[in-house]
């Protein structure tokens, strides 16, 4: 199987271009530009334009096929390609030579790029017959089904205005998701008739040879007939892509998921997962009907020679009937052949969550402060179709702005990513600054963390992304609220507080219309229940926390029924398939990992920290005072193996509680603290503090000796973090590394695998592997329980 448009990514084909220099040189001559430079250097905005995407994918997919043959892989028994990638399948089958296929694809992409006034939308949750019936009964004459990707994942196409206006109709009919896609043409519909005619002029001059390997047609979902290939490929421009039916045809012929291979750009598969999805949603075509269809086709082909010939079809199984011909035993559910149910990665958690946040799987990498959840980590996740949050906490606004720009430059338009939005109880102006930046940069997903109550800045961010569509309020700016208490979850599952709405109205922060819309939606699209995690934690247990939050969610869902689904996820302690399986069984729609991503190649911390983390077990973490809020007794979970930080932090807090000023500390103890903890005098520390704090804060410290002591001691906590991030080995024993026991659990599970060394750990690969093992584990467990 070859993936089509949407599978492109910057850097694709890197290992192929030098290996197949003759084909690359031929491609450059045909296209008039360097395809290798486009794929490797972009920019991604250009690579994502249809006229460039289609030929680039043709080249990369074709070279990928050639490399598989050179590497000794078996030749396939059947080929298929999604939409434009059908040309790759025809090349692989010997129907088209490399250059002819590329010329056709370049022409096709150019014509599609010229299309204007059209649009497409992805519809999830409705079967094809329902969509087709809606189009007919609602008289949607300007809309057509375009891509039947899976039985319940269908793309409609047509006049742009009609596509936009039809959202309410499809949602009212039960669609779980409707998203207008960023295209300008009504592809795979009669609106492309002119493009089809212009394309036919080129296609008539191209030789289409006999298939050496059967190729499934997108138009018919059956193997191509050699004499009709040219006509089918011309027709493909206006005909819908019958991908799911093609997959069901394969299933009926006995093809299993394990028999399939996807060849395309390196990275997570795109079309192969549709096989599993189709298997779950419908299963194979009716074998009896398929056999009858094929016999009828053969009878038609020979009708002129033997018009009176009769055909008898005997369907055999391994179990003979008591009399008469053998019968075909078929298990049916709602009239559809169904395969034995197995849990797959595709049906873990909530597909609605995936659709809402634009991701492939319900797996999220959480934000780790001060950029430990780095731009590289977020980009890597986004390119894999997974959601990652940048660790903005503790960074200046300018640094966050730079990070957002770097992330955008590294991913394709529409790829998922988010930014952490941490609470600032004592400095709310920082929340306002971040809100201004997020709105300015168009960041549409945030992770709200450490909030004990909804704040004005969060309400303003939510308000600026609200819009009305056919009388229903929709949210463009999405919030995932990380909580560890049901009472806090309840605030995010409610509408914005009236007092905050009133205050923002008075200050001009929101409009009257935005205020009205705020009353119609919950503050969050998703709640992430945070259990025993690294960093700030309430040491909660998911088994106690998730159920009551699910109940609150269900109540909110009833209150805001027209808004759309609200999701509940789980974080904290998830480092193994067993932990992930447990929270999915509890009812989590998605999972969030944290600690395990800190020990990856992409994490924005030092190699020294990663070396430490790679060696820990589940008992090698401890709770220590929080540097920002130790006066209140707040705790963070940190690494304790190989460092003194937890013990020294506790000692500083104890000294703070026992003394009213630095001068009251015993001289010998003071000298010990200055020499071993701070490596400089208290006076020097305060001088540094005074340069970084506001004048009012410094003046307060001058008046209040206890506060001066707090500021000095807090500097130790800041220094220990910076030393760890920088990997300053002179201060290794003082490293402050936020980490939970999930890291130790992951390390134990990684022994003897490719992930044993952190230098082989990549955040996206860890996530995908964790999901695969979770599905496998659940199948094994349920198999045992249902014997």
DSSP string, 517-583: HHTTS-S-SEEEEE-S-SEE-----HHHHHHHHHHHHHHHHHHTTTT---EEEEESS--SHHHHHHH
Give percent helix, percent strand, percent coil of the chain, each to the nearest 5: 50, 10, 40
Q: Examine the domain organization and report whether 41 and 166 are in the same domain.
A: no
Q: Are residues 446 and 479 in contact, defined by beta-carbon separation less than 8 angstroms? A: yes
Q: Under 8 Å CB-to-CB from 22, ≥6 apart: which residues?
A: none
pLDDT digits (tens, 9 = 90+) for 61-90: 999 999 999 999 989 999 999 999 999 999
Q: Is residue 311 part of a domain?
A: no
Taking the C-alpha atoms of residue 155 and residue 136, their distance in angstroms, rounded to an integer, is 16
Q: How many domains are there within the chain?
A: 4
* Largest pairwise CA distance in the chain: 113
In a domain, 447, yes or no: yes
- Residue 780, domain member (yes or no): no
pLDDT surpasses 90 at 364: yes
Q: Where are the beta strands (DSSP E) in 94-241?
A: 118-124, 143-150, 153-159, 177-181
Question: Do 657 and 710 reside in the same domain of the chain?
Answer: yes
Please tell me what DSSP assigns to residue 731. G
Contact (CB, 8 A) for 132 and 96: no
Tokens of 328: 């075909």
Q: What is the pLDDT of residue 293?
A: 64
What's the CA gap between 720 and 622, in Å, rounded?
16
- How far apart are the C-alpha atoms of 769 and 777, rounded to whole Å? 12
For residue 390, the tally of other CB atoms under 10 A from its CB is 30
Say if residue 309's pLDDT is above 70.
Answer: no
Helices (H), ranges, 176-301: 193-203, 229-235, 243-252, 272-281, 287-301
At 340 the pLDDT is 37
- Could you tell me the CATH number of the domain that includes residue 100? 3.40.366.10
Place of tokens 């997108």: 218
- In the prediction, which pLDDT does 155 show? 96
Tokens of 219: 């138009």
Q: For residue 237, give both structure tokens.
A: 């421009």
Answer whether 590's CB lies under 8 Å from 567's CB. Answer: yes
For residue 636, list its beta bridge partners.
536, 624
CA distance 192 to 198: 10
Task: HSE, CB side, 13 Å, CA atoms: give it for residue 51.
Answer: 11
Provide the pairing of β-strand 177-181 with 118-124. Answer: antiparallel
How would residue 517 be classed by pLDDT, with cut points 50, 70 and 90? very high
Question: What residue numbers bound the domain in which 364 lies?
Answer: 346-605
CA 628 to chain centre: 32
User: In terms of domains, do 266 and 199 share one?
Assistant: yes
pLDDT in tens, 539-567: 788 999 999 999 999 999 999 988 989 99
Judge if 565 and 624 occupy the same domain. no
In the chain, the percentage of residues whose pLDDT exceeds 70 is 92
Domain contains 783? no
In a domain, 216, yes or no: yes
Q: Which domain-ending residue is among 736, 762, 778? A: 736
The whole-angstrom separation of Cα 66 and Cα 457 is 54
Q: What does each C-alpha distance from 652 to 175, 251, 631, 730 come to in angstroms?
A: 57, 66, 11, 21
Looking at the fold, whether 559 and 633 belong to one and the same domain comes out as no
How far apart CA 504 and CA 508 sit, in angstroms, is 6
**Domain boundary residue among 605, 625, 660?**
605
Q: Is the dihedral of CA 183, 189, 190, 193 positive or negative?
A: positive
Give the three-state DSSP class for 625.
strand
Residue 310 has pLDDT above 80, yes or no: no
Q: Does 333 have pLDDT greater than 70? A: no
Is residue 60 very low, low, confident or very high in pLDDT (cuts 50, 70, 90)? very high
DSSP state of 48: T
Interior angle at CA 43, CA 38 and CA 46, nearest 5: 75
Instruction: With CA atoms as reference, report the closest residue to 463 among 482, 480, 479.
Output: 479
d(CA 579, CA 624): 25
- CA distance linking residue 750 with residue 272, whole number of Å: 27
The proportion of the chain whose per-residue pLDDT surpasses 90, expressed as a percent, equals 75
Judge if 96 and 214 occupy the same domain: yes
Find out whether 376 and 602 touch, Cβ atoms under 8 Å.
yes
The CA radius of gyration of the chain, in Å to the nearest whole number, is: 30
Judge whether 749 lies within some domain. Answer: no
Element (H, E) at 482: strand 478-483
Answer yes or no: do 425 and 513 share one domain. yes
Cβ pair 166, 121 in contact under 8 A: yes
Residues 288 and 211 in one domain: yes
Assess contact for 106 and 147: CB atoms under 8 A: no
256, 271, 292: which is the final residue of a domain?
292
- CATH number at 152 reads 3.30.70.250
- Residue 420 three-state SS: strand
What's the pLDDT tens digit per position in 79-130? 999 999 999 999 999 999 999 999 999 999 999 988 888 999 999 999 999 9
pLDDT beyond 90 at 476 = yes
CA distances, 606 to each of 288, 603, 739 (Å)? 62, 8, 14
Sequence-distant (6+) residues with CB within 8 A of 598 are 368, 372, 534, 605, 609, 610, 613, 737, 738, 739, 743
At a CB cut-off of 8 Å and minimum separation 6, what does 311 contact? Answer: 295, 298, 299
Predicted pLDDT of residue 328: 29
64/201 same-domain check: yes
Q: Is there a single domain that holds both residue 581 and residue 713?
A: no
Q: Give pLDDT tens digits for 592-626.
A: 999 999 999 999 999 999 999 999 999 999 999 98
Q: How far apart are CA 390 and CA 593, in angstroms?
A: 13
Question: At 759, phi and psi to the nearest 5?
Answer: -70, -10
pLDDT value at position 267?
81
SS3 of residue 135 by DSSP:
helix
Rounded mean pLDDT, 423-446: 93
Confirm if 495 and 522 have CB atoms less than 8 A apart. Answer: yes
pLDDT at 715 over 80: yes
The answer to whether residues 262 and 379 belong to one domain is: no
- To the nearest 10 degrees (0 to 180), the angle between helices 98-114 and 50-70 is 160
Write out the two tokens for 11: 């850097």
Mean pLDDT of 216-241: 94
Report yes or no on 320 lying in a domain. Answer: no
Taking the alpha carbons at both ends of the chain, their separation in whole angstroms is: 36
DSSP characters over 289-336:
HHHHHHHHHHHHHTTTT-TT---------SS--SSSS------EETTE
The secondary element (H helix, E strand) that includes residue 608 is helix 607-614
Beta bridge partners of 569: 528, 590
- Active site amino acids: 83, 188
Q: With contact defined as beta carbons under 8 Å apart, do 55 and 106 qualify?
A: yes
Highest-scoring range by mean pLDDT, 137-141, 296-300, 493-497: 493-497
389 and 531 assigned to the same domain: yes
Here the tokens at position 322 are 């008591």
pLDDT at 173 over 50: yes
CATH of the domain at 590: 3.20.20.70
Mean pLDDT of the chain, nearest integer: 89
Give me the residue label for tokens 């998703």.
Answer: 526
Report if residue 761 sits inside a domain. no
Quick one: three-class SS letters along 688-712? HHHHHCCHHHHHHHHHCHHHHHHHH
């Amino acid at each position: 199987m070859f993936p089509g448009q949407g599978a492109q990514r910057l850097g694709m084909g890197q290992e192929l271009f030098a290996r197949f220099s003759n084909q690359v040189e031929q491609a450059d001559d045909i296209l008039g530009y360097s395809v290798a430079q486009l794929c490797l250097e972009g920019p991604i905005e250009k690579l994502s334009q249809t006229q460039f995407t289609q030929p680039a994918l043709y080249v990369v997919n074709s070279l990928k096929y050639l490399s598989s043959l050179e590497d000794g892989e078996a030749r396939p028994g059947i080929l298929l390609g999604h939409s434009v990638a059908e040309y790759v399948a025809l090349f692989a089958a010997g129907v088209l030579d490399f250059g002819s296929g590329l010329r056709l694809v370049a022409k096709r992409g150019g014509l599609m790029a010229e299309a204007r006034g059209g649009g497409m939308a992805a519809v999830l949750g409705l079967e094809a017959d329902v969509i087709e019936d809606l189009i007919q009964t609602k008289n949607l004459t300007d809309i057509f089904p375009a891509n039947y990707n899976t039985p319940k994942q269908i793309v409609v196409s047509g006049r742009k205005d009609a596509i936009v206006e039809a959202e309410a109709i499809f949602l009212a009919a039960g669609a779980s998701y409707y998203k207008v896609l960023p295209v300008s043409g009504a592809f795979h519909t009669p609106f492309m008739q002119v493009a089809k005619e212009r394309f036919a002029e080129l296609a008539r001059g191209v030789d289409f040879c006999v298939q050496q390997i059967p190729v499934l047609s997108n138009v018919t979902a059956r193997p191509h007939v050699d004499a009709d290939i040219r006509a089918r490929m011309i027709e493909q421009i206006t005909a819908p892509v019958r991908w799911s039916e093609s997959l069901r045809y394969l299933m009926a012929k006995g093809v299993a998921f394990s028999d399939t291979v996807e060849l395309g750009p390196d990275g997570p598969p795109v079309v192969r997962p549709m096989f599993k999805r189709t298997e779950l949603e419908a299963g194979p075509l009716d074998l009896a009907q398929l056999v009858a269809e094929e016999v009828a086709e053969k009878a038609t082909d020979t009708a002129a020679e033997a018009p009176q010939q009769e055909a008898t079809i005997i369907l055999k199984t391994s179990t003979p009937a008591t009399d008469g011909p053998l019968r075909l035993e078929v298990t049916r559910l709602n009239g559809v052949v169904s395969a034995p149910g197995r849990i797959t990665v595709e049906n873990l958690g909530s597909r609605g969550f995936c659709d809402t946040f634009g991701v492939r799987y319900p797996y999220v990498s959480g934000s780790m402060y001060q950029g430990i959840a780095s731009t590289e980590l977020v980009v890597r996740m986004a390119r894999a179709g997974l959601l990652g949050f940048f660790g903005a906490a503790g960074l200046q606004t300018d640094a966050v702005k730079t990070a957002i720009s770097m992330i955008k430059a590294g991913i394709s338009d529409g790829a998922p990513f988010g930014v952490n939005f941490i609470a600032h109880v004592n400095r709310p102006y920082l929340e306002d600054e971040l809100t201004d930046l997020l709105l300015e940069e168009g960041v549409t997903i945030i992770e709200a963390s450490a909030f004990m109550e909804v704040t004005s800045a969060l309400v303003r961010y939510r308000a600026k992304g609200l819009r009305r569509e056919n009388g229903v309020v929709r949210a463009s700016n999405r919030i995932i609220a990380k909580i560890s208490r049901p009472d806090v979850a309840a605030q995010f599952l409610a509408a914005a507080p009236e007092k905050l709405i009133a205050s923002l109205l008075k200050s001009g922060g929101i409009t009257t219309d935005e205020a009205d819309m705020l009353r119609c939606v919950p503050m969050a699209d998703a709640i992430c229940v945070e259990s025993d995690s690294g960093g700030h934690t309430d040491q909660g247990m998911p088994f106690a926390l998730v159920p009551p939050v699910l109940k609150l969610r269900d109540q909110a869902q009833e209150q805001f029924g027209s808004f759309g689904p609200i999701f509940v996820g789980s974080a904290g302690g998830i480092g193994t398939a067993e932990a992930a399986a447990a929270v999915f069984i509890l009812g989590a729609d998605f999972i969030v990992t944290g600690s395990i991503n800190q020990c990856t190649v992409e994490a924005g911390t030092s190699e020294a920290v990663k070396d430490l983390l790679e060696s820990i077990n589940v008992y090698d973490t401890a709770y220590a005072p929080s540097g920002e809020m130790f006066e209140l007794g707040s705790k963070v979970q940190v690494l304790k193996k190989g460092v003194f930080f937890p013990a020294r932090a506790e000692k500083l807090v104890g000294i703070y509680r026992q003394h009213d000023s630095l001068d009251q500390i015993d001289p010998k103890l003071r000298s010990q603290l200055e020499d071993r903890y701070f490596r400089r005098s208290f006076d020097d520390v305060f001088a540094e503090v005074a340069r970084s704090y506001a004048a009012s804060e410094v003046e307060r410290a001058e008046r209040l000796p206890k506060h001066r002591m707090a500021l000095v001691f807090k500097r130790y906590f800041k220094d220990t973090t910076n030393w760890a991030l920088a990997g300053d080995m002179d201060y290794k024993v003082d490293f402050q590394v936020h980490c939970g026991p999930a890291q130790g659990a992951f390390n134990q599970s990684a022994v003897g695998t490719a992930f044993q060394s952190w230098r082989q750990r990549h955040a996206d690969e860890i996530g995908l592997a964790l999901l695969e093992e979770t599905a496998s584990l659940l199948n094994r467990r349920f198999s045992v329980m249902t014997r």
